[in-house]
Amino acid sequence: MPLTDTLARVDADLAAGRIPVARQRLRGLVSSYPDDLALRRRLAEVYRLYGEPAEAGRWMYLEQDRDAAETAAFEARHRTALRRMRALAWRAPESRAATAFARAQLAAVRKQCSHELGRPVDWDAVPSPGEADGTASEGSGVGGALAGIGCLVAVLGFLAIWVNGLVDLFD
């Protein structure tokens, strides 16, 4: 669905009082168009209707006229630069930001994250918390072992039922 049609539906949802639906539509649009600051601003406005200052601060973080209390709430919720990078959901080079303030904010968060992690970080490859601290696993550990054992038991159970049926067939 084109951007203009979805925004028209957002307006209709808000006019009809369907705020959760409007919020979901805007979240989808921000996900599809992460560098559109106007969409982020509209999403922040919807979160203000909910009384969610941290979320409003999240989506207004790249705007120069942002509310200081909302920004502080966002920063308190996402204390590290890595968490802020992930929360901002920016998936483009900083140069794609529409304003100089937004570019500066994005650069500051990325540089702080790179400093905290001790290695360069880019917006198009934001590490997960497990990757960042070296605790990411490739299916190992207790959870992976239990999943493997569960699969093995299921296969053996299926095989036992199949063999039992085969034996009964020839008896």
Q: How far apart are CA 165 and CA 171, in angstroms?
A: 10
Percentage of the chain lying above the pLDDT 70 cut = 93
Q: How far apart are CA 94 and CA 2, in angstroms?
A: 25
Percentage of the chain lying above the pLDDT 90 cut = 67
Of 32, 46, 41, nearest to 3 (Cα)?
32
Note the pLDDT of residue 20.
94
H or E, element range at 170: helix 141-170
| Most confident segment among 39-48, 122-131, 158-167 | 39-48
pLDDT surpasses 60 at 79: yes
Q: Locate 138 and state its tokens.
A: 């490739």
Lowest mean pLDDT among 8-22, 35-49, 157-171: 157-171
Higher local confidence (pLDDT), 6 or 130: 6
Tally Cβ neighbours within 10 Å of residue 169. Answer: 7
Q: How far apart are CA 98 and CA 38, in angstroms?
A: 10
Q: What is the 3-state secondary structure (H, E, C) of 82-111?
A: HHHHHHHCCCCCHHHCCCHHHHHHHHHHHH
Range 103-113 average pLDDT: 95
Average pLDDT over the chain reads: 89
Note if the pTM is more than 0.75: no
88, 63 contact by CB (below 8 A)? no
